[in-house]
């Protein structure tokens, strides 16, 4: 938000800014000086009131911030949720960048003139029945994964409570011992918008050879050894109505992936012309599940996109495309985004763990020509 506009908003809502003691935090809502949301997309509003002292120098995000959690756990050392500030008449509004989660406690923090800000805790009411919190998927899904694996994606049936992931998630070896330094621990956990998918990132320092952390601790996983990513039960859902049961995924580490992907190694099943048969690719390695969904396009000979549905198959090594309309012409092309990463973080241009002395390589091939068969031909 433009700083000049923020200052203008600050002046417009300046009459809201009274010294509200912490003991009177609920007076904000009772006096209708703050409008709290009742739906996931509602804004939070600070209303102007006559005769209240002003600050002329505060920006919109200095006046009002919103945090996940109740006031007892707010707010120092925490990052406020993202959103935009606006003006509606003589009031300041804050609209979250993503919809608020029903049942999750939030705290609106309002800066007062005194030494302490005022705080109001609120929650969006539930509109749907309770759903049990369970792990629905973990990607990569394969049972054999490279020792330089970069990340896991953990999917949940419902939004989960934040700031609790690494109280519950661990990497265990065959003896059940946990590697406490395997994963990166960010202050802001790596959730998708509705907190149903968590990205669990291995510490790249454990992956890259000859880096201090790798030298000191060794790799987090080693080829030929079995491991488990374990998620301990008791993790509450965001709405507080259920808790996660114990979950684990076992896998064996294979040798590291230290070559760029190569479309020339992909196996192609060509579809029949005048049919809606799927075009199928068997890839040379497992790829990042969520990047793979949108990184490949099918285009006609003259470069027009072909509309259709993508399915990701076994161990993220099978890509299947079913067109909305029957195939026409004699050939199509599969165009691959060169930034597509495999499960070790390598893309078509660069390796995650690349020697500094390595010379620049040729531009990668990121297109495949796929002939359309006559239906009477053998595959």
- Residue 164 pLDDT exceeds 50: yes
pLDDT of res. 48 = 60
3-class secondary structure, 299: strand
135-254 sits in which CATH class?
mainly beta
What mean pLDDT comes out for the span 51-57?
38
pLDDT over 70 (residue 324): yes
Look up residue 127 and give its DSSP letter.
-
Q: Pick 94 or 58 by higher pLDDT.
A: 94
* Paired strand residues for 122: 106
CATH architecture of 263-371: Sandwich (2.60)
Summarize the confidence of residues 243-264 as an average pLDDT. Answer: 95
Q: Where are the beta strands (DSSP E) in 7-134?
A: 34-35, 44-46, 64-68, 83-88, 91-96, 105-110, 118-123
Using the CB atoms, write b or e for 151-162: b if 16+ within 10 Å: bbbbebbbbbbb
Token couple for 327? 């195939």
Q: Where in the chain is the domain with CATH 2.60.40.1220?
A: 135-254, 263-371
pLDDT-derived band of residue 188, with 50, 70 and 90 as boundaries? confident
**Comparison of pLDDT for 334 and 128, the residue scoring more:** 334
Residue 102 has pLDDT above 70, yes or no: yes
pLDDT in tens, 192-219: 998 999 999 999 888 888 777 777 888 8
Tell me which of 106-110, 241-245, 278-282 is least confident. Answer: 106-110
The DSSP code sequence of 251-291 is EEEE----S---GGG-EEEPPBTTS-PPEEEE-SS-B-HHH
pLDDT band at 33 (very low <50, low <70, confident <90, very high): confident
pLDDT at 130: 78
pLDDT tens-digit readout, 347-368: 998 898 876 555 556 667 789 9
Compute the average pLDDT of residues 19-33. Answer: 43
Whether the pLDDT of residue 111 is over 60: the answer is yes
How confident is residue 7, by pLDDT bands cut at 50, 70 and 90?
Answer: very low
Q: Which of 27-36, 119-128, 211-220 has the highest mean pLDDT?
A: 119-128
Q: Are 246 and 233 in contact (CB under 8 A)?
A: yes
Q: What is the average pLDDT across 227-243? A: 93
The pLDDT score that the predictor gives to residue 253 is: 97
CATH number of 3-123: 2.60.40
Q: What is the largest CA-CA distance in the chain?
A: 85
Share of the chain above pLDDT 70, in %: 83
In terms of phi and psi (left: phi > 0; alpha: psi -120 to 50; beta: otherwise), the region of 111 is beta
**Mean pLDDT in residue range 290-301:** 93
The whole-angstrom separation of Cα 83 and Cα 103 is 19
Q: What is the mean pLDDT of the chain?
A: 83
Torsion of CA 50, 52, 53, 55, to 10 degrees: -80
**pLDDT at residue 40, as a whole number:** 86
């Amino acid at each position: 938000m433009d700083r000049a506009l923020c200052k203008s908003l600050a002046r417009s809502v300046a009459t809201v800014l009274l010294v509200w003691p912490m003991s009177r935090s609920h007076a904000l809502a009772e006096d209708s000086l703050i409008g709290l949301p009742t739906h996931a997309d509602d804004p939070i509003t600070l209303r102007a009131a006559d005769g209240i002292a002003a600050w002329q120098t505060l920006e919109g995000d200095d006046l009002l911030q919103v945090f996940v959690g109740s006031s007892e756990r707010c707010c120092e050392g925490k990052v406020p949720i993202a959103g935009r500030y606006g003006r509606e008449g003589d009031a300041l509004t804050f609209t979250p960048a993503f919809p608020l989660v029903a049942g999750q406690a939030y705290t609106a923090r309002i800066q007062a003139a005194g030494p302490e800000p005022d705080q109001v805790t609120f929650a969006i009411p539930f509109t749907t029945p309770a759903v049990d919190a369970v792990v629905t998927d973990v990607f990569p899904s394969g049972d054999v994964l490279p020792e330089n694996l970069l990340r896991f994606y953990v999917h949940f049936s419902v939004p989960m409570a934040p700031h609790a992931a690494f109280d519950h998630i661990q990497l265990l070896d065959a003896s059940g011992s946990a590697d406490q330094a395997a994963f990166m621990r960010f202050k802001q956990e790596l959730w998708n918008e509705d907190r149903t998918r968590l990205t669990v990132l291995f510490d790249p320092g454990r992956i890259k050879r000859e880096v201090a952390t790798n030298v000191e601790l060794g790799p987090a996983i080693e080829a030929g050894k079995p491991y488990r990513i374990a998620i301990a039960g008791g993790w509450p859902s965001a709405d507080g109505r259920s808790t996660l049961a114990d979950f684990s995924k076992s896998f064996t580490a294979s040798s590291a992936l230290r070559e760029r992907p190569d479309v020339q190694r992909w196996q192609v099943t060509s579809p029949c012309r005048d049919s809606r048969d799927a075009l199928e690719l068997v890839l040379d390695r497992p790829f990042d599940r969520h990047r793979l969904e949108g990184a490949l396009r099918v285009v006609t000979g003259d470069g027009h996109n072909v509309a259709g549905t993508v399915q990701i198959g076994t161990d993220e090594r099978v890509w299947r495309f079913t067109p909305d309309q029957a195939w026409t012409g004699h050939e199509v092309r599969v165009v691959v985004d060169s930034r597509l990463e495999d499960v070790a973080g390598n893309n078509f241009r660069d390796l995650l763990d690349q020697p500094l002395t390595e010379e620049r390589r040729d531009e990668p091939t990121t297109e495949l020509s796929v002939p359309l068969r006559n239906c009477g031909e053998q595959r």
